[in-house]
Structure 1
């Protein structure tokens, strides 16, 4: 229970990596604010699993500053403080240059970049020394095989990587560590959706372990970055990809 007494906000926490992260942080002792956009049933399931005394589900659009303010206010009202911020909510559409619209651009940058930045801004006044900010990046940013269709996604995650570096220096004076986890292909419902068995088999073989990561394995890296053992780790993008460099 290394996170006993800590309070975490996890956006996009009703499913996938976000849900696994919320459940892992709770298992390590933290109280958790479960942010979701539309799936209230899934969010309530996470709260029920953790326990209503240490979990709170909050509906909010993590790409909109007023909703972010509502999320932070709900966390402080319920638990009185914030120690860990995990801006996990994101979008991964596929658009090459020729087919990218302004709406596509705004959707990606609003949720993947603007939302995380302003969540941190609004949360920091409520974070004591020892706080942790843990962004979610991607292993695609180091890939030489990334396809043109991931143009917007990798652009947003490149911005996230730079925010990690800048904010780690900005927030060090407050005793807050800032890092990111960069997952490789991870077996979430969203990842599997729309992919053929042939494509999945090809992607799986790109890891020498011949499998995809599991959400719980990514959550374990987040838990490390949230805990005391990472107190001298800041400004880092920690890749969790099973030696899969795609």
Structure 2
């Protein structure tokens, strides 16, 4: 058995996949949580196992308490316990507030906010002492891009929950932080944007590029590592200095 194990939700692709691969490279066994794309989740697992890591898939709707509990059960059965939980799963629905279908708002809040609550609740109950919880937020909260009202509102709740949970875990030696990526070159972010829009966004940070999934994975891995133990109850805006 690996000495430490992690659960990463939303790990079938994008930022979540990069996080899963980075944690595995750092020596953690990884449960690759995903919502529905089995082929992509298996691709993540194969990439980890092919270089000597250890990973398994776990299909779970992050807003479903029973499904999330089963994901933690799988981690405990395979690896003896859970030390790190990274909640990366999320969805986005873009529209001005005046035009957004409320059914779309409900979907965003269910996955992004309720999902964070459910995953964190299980993490609190199941994490071994000395562990780490990292939730994914967004720098859109500060950038205030029009059309991102539902998404930013849901992630604002993620940040509040993360800071409160860090204080509720006094005495457990468990850290809780949020990482808030800026514009990052993932399929979800790039979808529907023309080249001019992408170039404009890439030019905004002082580092003059979009973030990459690996940029975010490195930040998360630091918080999950012994080197990050003194960072707790914080929101790290990993965005190249855009705000």
CA distance in 2, matches of 1:67, 1:192: 30
User: 3-state SS of the aligned residue for 2:6?
Assistant: strand
User: 3-state SS of the aligned residue for 1:99?
Assistant: coil
Q: Which moved more, 1:87-96 or 1:123-132?
A: 123-132
The answer (yes or no) to whether the contact 2:93–2:105 under 8 Å persists in 1 is no
Query: TM-score w.r.t. structure 1 length?
Result: 0.93
CA distance in 2, matches of 1:103, 1:65: 21
CA distance in 2, matches of 1:41, 1:13: 12
Structure 1 residue aligned with 2:183: 185
Structure 1 residue aligned with 2:214: 216
CA distance in 2, matches of 1:141, 1:187: 18
Which residue, 27, 30, 35 being the options, matches 2:28? 30
Query: TM-score w.r.t. structure 2 length?
Result: 0.94
Listed as ranges, the gaps of 5+ residues in structure 1 are: none
Structure 1 residue aligned with 2:84: 84
CA distance in 2, matches of 1:194, 1:140: 17
Alignment of 1:54-73 (within 5 A): 54-73=54-73
Q: Which moved more, 1:93-102 or 1:221-230?
A: 93-102
Q: Number of aligned residue pairs: give it.
A: 240
The answer (yes or no) to whether the contact 1:68–1:115 under 8 Å persists in 2 is no
Which residue, 33, 39, 42 being the options, matches 1:41? 39
The answer (yes or no) to whether the contact 1:181–1:240 under 8 Å persists in 2 is yes
CA distance in 2, matches of 1:46, 1:154: 28
Quote the offset at 1:180 in angstroms.
Answer: 0.8
Structure 2 residue aligned with 1:19: 17
Structure 1 residue aligned with 2:132: 132
Question: Are positions 1:93 and 2:93 aligned together?
Answer: yes
- The alignment's C-alpha RMSD in Å is 1.4
CA distance in 1, matches of 2:120, 2:75: 13
The answer (yes or no) to whether the contact 1:13–1:88 under 8 Å persists in 2 is yes
Structure 2 residue aligned with 1:116: 116
Alignment of 1:148-159 (within 5 A): 149-159=147-157
Quote the offset at 1:124 in angstroms.
Answer: 2.4
CA distance in 2, matches of 1:17, 1:172: 29
CA distance in 1, matches of 2:202, 2:109: 29
Quote the offset at 1:116 in angstroms.
Answer: 1.3
CA distance in 1, matches of 2:215, 2:238: 8
Listed as ranges, the gaps of 5+ residues in structure 2 are: none
CA distance in 2, matches of 1:85, 1:95: 31
